[in-house]
Amino acid sequence: MKKMVALILTLVVLATSCLAFTSCGEKENNENKVFKVGVCQLVQHAALDQATQGFVDALKAELGDRVEIDVQNASGDTNVCNTIVGDFVSKKVDLIMANATPALQAAYNATMTIPILGTSITEYGVALGTTLTNGVVGGNVSGTSDLAPLDEQADMILEFMPEVKTVGIVYCSSEANSAYQVAEMKKFLGAKGVTTKEFPFSDSNDISAVVTAACAECEALYIPTDNTAASCAETIGNIVREKKIPVFTGEENPAKVCGVASLTISYYDLGVTTGKMAAKILKGEADVSTMKVEYAPATKKYNKEMCELMGLVVPAGYVEMDK
């Protein structure tokens, strides 16, 4: 009996030692692992570029040479987003960062296992056709949102133009998050007695005709955080300068070119936050399925040159945009 007990104890010790050795080995391997991260960015324009740069800088600061980041740009083509994320999945990357809604949708449809972090996403529930629970998307998705308070954006327009009666909302009809912002802005402006008119366009080829029509019918224009519109800011600016129609935007970068003011966030800082989230996931310090979507604080900013051109007095509380 004593020999049997001794044998059992010996086996237990050996098993424990093996488990400890395996655990240490796994920990060491994880510490030495070089993670592969794929970034799919919808289109090249200032806000998305800044978000991607912030993500890369933050992730490199956290992991250094232990992370390889493959940044791919879809040039505004949602089909290319599908191709890019499909390639990431086939290469079995450790994490996908999707910059803008179509990129997030492509990643969401491509994998249920690889962690996905979105950035420059206005509303995750709308983008993915789901409902967030206490700010958590769930599954393999989380990330950061670029949504500034839409009720405050409506207030912004009236702070500059207290007597405005008609505001045209210019947006790309294929961007789900833009449609969400349009509906919300119509509600908030309508409650303040302002009539809104929608001016959707399907792609950049339509933007000139649509903006010209909007200027003919409205006293001011509003552009939400819309990637296609942002990439056409110069075209919009040329038209509204000639027509003397003020433009208010959901983010700063197009306002620097064609707008008078914006309630905006820092997209670079948004990317940094996303990069820090990614580092926690890769290091095993956080589970993407329980991570809340994070937001950035918004700042009121104005474009001095455009305000002077439009003859608008800047209200208190606004910061001049850097050019």
14-25 pLDDT, tens digit each: 444 444 444 444
Same domain assignment for residues 233 and 124: no
Same domain assignment for residues 255 and 276: no
**Domain of residue 207, CATH code:** 3.40.50.2300
Q: Please check the confidence at residue 5 and state whether its pLDDT lies above 90.
A: no
Q: Please check the confidence at residue 3 and state whether its pLDDT lies above 80.
A: no
pLDDT score recorded for residue 141? 98
Average pLDDT of span 83-99: 98
As for how many domains the chain has, the answer is: 2
Same domain assignment for residues 171 and 124: no
193-235 pLDDT, tens digit each: 999 999 999 888 999 999 999 999 999 999 999 989 999 999 9
Residue 173 included in any domain: yes
Residue 5 included in any domain: no
pLDDT score recorded for residue 85? 98
Average pLDDT of span 150-159: 96
Question: Which residues constitute the domain of residue 68?
Answer: 33-146+266-292
The two tokens of residue 93 are: 């990357």
pLDDT score recorded for residue 283? 96
177-186 pLDDT, tens digit each: 899 999 999 9
Same domain assignment for residues 110 and 225: no
Same domain assignment for residues 75 and 170: no
Residue 2 included in any domain: no
Same domain assignment for residues 110 and 192: no
Residue 92 included in any domain: yes
Residue 141 included in any domain: yes
pLDDT score recorded for residue 20? 44
**From CA 41, how far away is CA 69, in angstroms rounded?**
13
Same domain assignment for residues 141 and 58: yes
pLDDT score recorded for residue 288? 98
Confidence label for 7 from pLDDT (cuts 50, 70 and 90): very low
Percentage of residues in the chain with pLDDT exceeding 90?
A: 80
Is 307 within 8 Å of 241 (Cβ atoms)?
Answer: no
Residue 27 included in any domain: no
Residue 115 included in any domain: yes
268-291 pLDDT, tens digit each: 999 999 999 999 999 999 999 999
Q: Please check the confidence at residue 59 and state whether its pLDDT lies above 50.
A: yes
Confidence label for 4 from pLDDT (cuts 50, 70 and 90): very low
Same domain assignment for residues 170 and 109: no
Q: Is the pTM of this model over 0.85?
A: no
Same domain assignment for residues 160 and 68: no
pLDDT score recorded for residue 11? 45
101-120 pLDDT, tens digit each: 999 999 999 999 999 999 99
Task: Identify the residue whose tokens are 């030495």.
Answer: 32
Same domain assignment for residues 161 and 242: yes
Same domain assignment for residues 140 and 249: no
Residue 18 included in any domain: no
pLDDT score recorded for residue 8? 45
pLDDT score recorded for residue 323? 73
Q: Please check the confidence at residue 9 and state whether its pLDDT lies above 50.
A: no
295-322 pLDDT, tens digit each: 988 999 999 999 999 999 999 999 999 8
Answer with the residue of higher pLDDT: 194 or 264: 194
Same domain assignment for residues 308 and 191: yes
pLDDT score recorded for residue 203? 85
pLDDT score recorded for residue 30? 57
